[in-house]
């Protein structure tokens, strides 16, 4: 039993170490960031700070709150959540610009080669959901359900964007396996959920004699890791498919997960069918995370040559 506990925690440490390594390699994570005229950075992520880009950012600029000012070049995506985004006349964005819950000022002369998505405030999202979906509910619980849904949406929005920002290649590879090997993904996910549920129930019983507590905690953490990666992959899959339907074959991973998240949340609002759809997505998420070893290979369970 001790060996199993040690193995579970070792696996968790390996996963967390992998996450930290990827973060260090991919992103500059600070509060206030200035990219000077002759400076080049790969990616930028800030929480509540100010970003000034006069030089070049190869891929994405992402901010939660604060302010983004672009006077130079961004190679892929500019994304703000509750952020003031200003594109100066000299600004060049090779990909998309998305402002959710903030403000967007595109000064004359700036160039955005991709799409522009703009929700002025969180009330816009709320109003959209109320008008589009209120007819499905005639009971007084709708405001409460909507509030819970918006909170859940915000949490998943943050998690999915972080996953897409730090692990775009892994999520893209895992998403491709949903389309190419749907049957095996579904079977692996269903079996994994059954086994996981059984282990959680068994470890909960063992908690009566204390020995099950560390096992239960390890299972919960591991389940959260699988769930977050799997759900982000599903959001990417739906977002990529949606944008492909409109003729955009290679969308930004972050923009794809945002659109996929919105689409999935709209579908899960449907009474009864939404619950079935949610459970179905959970199976697919678990299956694709395990089959691809968190997006690092096409088939973790395949025979080695």
- Per residue, what are the HEC states of 137-184? CCCCCHHHHHHHHHHHHHHHHHHHHHHHHHCHHHHHHHHHHHHHCHHH
Is 0.75 topped by the overall pTM?
no
pLDDT-derived band of residue 17, with 50, 70 and 90 as boundaries? very low
Q: Report how far apart the first and last C-alpha atoms of the chain are (Å, whole number).
A: 33
Query: Same domain, yes or no, for 151 and 286?
Result: yes
Axis crossing angle, helix 168-180 with helix 182-206, rounded to the nearest 10? 110
pLDDT tops 50 at residue 14: no
For the chain, what percent of residues have pLDDT higher than 90? 10
Per-residue model confidence (pLDDT) at position 296: 82
Query: Would 20 be classed as within a structural domain?
Result: no
In sequence order, the 6+-apart residues with CB closer than 8 A to the CB of 70 are 53, 61, 78, 85, 86, 87, 88, 91, 93, 110
pLDDT tops 50 at residue 133: no
What count of other Cβ atoms lies within 10 Å of the Cβ of residue 220?
Answer: 12
pLDDT tops 90 at residue 25: no
Per-residue model confidence (pLDDT) at position 21: 38
Model pLDDT for residues 157-194, shown as the tens digit of each residue: 888 888 887 888 888 888 888 888 888 888 988 999 99
Query: Same domain, yes or no, for 112 and 140?
Result: no
Q: How far apart are CA 242 and CA 240, in angstroms?
A: 5
Query: Same domain, yes or no, for 177 and 105?
Result: no
| Mean pLDDT, rounded, for 251-271 | 80
Task: Tokens for 158, please give them.
Answer: 């943050």
* C-alpha closest to that of 170 among 22, 294, 7: 294
Query: Same domain, yes or no, for 115 and 131?
Result: no
pLDDT-derived band of residue 16, with 50, 70 and 90 as boundaries? very low
Query: Would 127 be classed as within a structural domain?
Result: yes
Query: Would 37 be classed as within a structural domain?
Result: yes
Q: Say how many domains are in the chain.
A: 2
CA distances from 128 to 131, 170, 195 (A): 5, 32, 40
Query: Same domain, yes or no, for 202 and 228?
Result: yes
Beta strand segments in the chain, E: 28-29, 33-35, 40-41, 44-47, 50-53, 56-57, 60-64, 67-70, 73-74, 77-81, 84-87, 92-93, 96-100, 103-106, 111-112, 116-119
Per-residue model confidence (pLDDT) at position 81: 79
In this structure, what are the phi and psi dihedrals at residue 43, rounded to the nearest 5 degrees?
-145, 160
Query: Same domain, yes or no, for 141 and 191?
Result: yes
In this structure, what are the phi and psi dihedrals at residue 16, rounded to the nearest 5 degrees?
-65, -35
Half-sphere exposure of 131 (CA within 13 A, CB side): 6
| Cβ-based burial of 281 (10 A; exposed 0-12, middle 13-18, buried ≥19) | buried
- Averaged pLDDT of the chain: 76
Per-residue model confidence (pLDDT) at position 71: 92
Query: Same domain, yes or no, for 68 and 136?
Result: no
Q: Which of 25-39, 55-69, 261-275 has the lowest mean pLDDT?
A: 25-39
Residue 192's domain comprises 122-291
Query: Same domain, yes or no, for 261 and 273?
Result: yes
The last residue of one of the domains, among 119, 153, 177, is 119
Per-residue model confidence (pLDDT) at position 121: 53
Q: How far apart are CA 46 and CA 60, in angstroms?
A: 11
Query: Would 205 be classed as within a structural domain?
Result: yes
Model pLDDT for residues 52-110, shown as the tens digit of each residue: 999 999 888 888 888 899 999 998 888 887 888 999 999 999 888 888 777 889 999 99
pLDDT-derived band of residue 152, with 50, 70 and 90 as boundaries? confident
Per-residue model confidence (pLDDT) at position 249: 65
Model pLDDT for residues 208-252, shown as the tens digit of each residue: 766 767 778 888 888 888 888 988 999 988 888 887 777 766 767
Query: Same domain, yes or no, for 45 and 193?
Result: no
Query: Same domain, yes or no, for 89 and 225?
Result: no
Residue that wins the pLDDT comparison between 303 and 61: 61
SS3 (DSSP) at 301: coil
The last residue of one of the domains, among 119, 149, 167, is 119
Query: Same domain, yes or no, for 84 and 95?
Result: yes
Query: Same domain, yes or no, for 148 and 206?
Result: yes
Per-residue model confidence (pLDDT) at position 120: 61
Task: Tokens for 294, please give them.
Answer: 């968190």
């Amino acid at each position: 039993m001790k060996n199993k506990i040690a193995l579970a925690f070792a696996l968790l440490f390996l996963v967390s170490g992998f996450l930290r390594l990827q973060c260090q390699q991919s992103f500059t994570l600070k509060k206030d960031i200035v990219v000077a005229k002759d400076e080049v950075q790969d990616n930028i992520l800030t929480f509540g700070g100010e970003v000034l880009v006069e030089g070049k950012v190869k891929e994405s600029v992402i901010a939660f709150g604060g302010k983004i000012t672009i006077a130079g070049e961004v190679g892929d995506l500019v994304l703000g959540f509750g952020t003031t985004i200003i594109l100066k006349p000299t600004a060049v964005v090779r990909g998309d610009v998305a402002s959710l819950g903030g403000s967007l000022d595109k000064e004359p002369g700036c160039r955005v080669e991709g799409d522009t998505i703009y929700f002025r405030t969180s009330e816009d999202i709320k109003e959209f959901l109320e008008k589009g979906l209120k007819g499905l509910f005639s009971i007084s619980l709708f405001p409460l359900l909507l509030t819970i849904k918006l909170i859940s949406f915000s949490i998943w929005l943050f998690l999915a964007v972080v996953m897409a920002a730090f692990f775009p290649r892994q999520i893209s590879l895992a998403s491709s396996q949903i389309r190419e090997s749907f049957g095996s993904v579904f079977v692996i996910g269903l079996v994994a959920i059954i086994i996981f549920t059984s282990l959680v129930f068994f470890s909960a019983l063992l908690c009566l004699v204390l020995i099950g507590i560390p096992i239960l905690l390890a299972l919960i953490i591991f389940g959260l890791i699988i769930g977050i990666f799997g759900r982000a992959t599903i959001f990417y899959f739906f977002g990529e498919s949606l944008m492909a339907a409109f003729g955009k074959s290679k969308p930004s991973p972050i923009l794809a997960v945002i659109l996929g998240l919105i689409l999935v949340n709209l579908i899960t609002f449907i009474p009864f069918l939404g619950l079935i759809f949610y459970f179905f997505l959970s199976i697919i998420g678990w299956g694709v995370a395990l089959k691809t070893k968190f997006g690092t290979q096409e088939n973790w369970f395949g025979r080695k040559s």
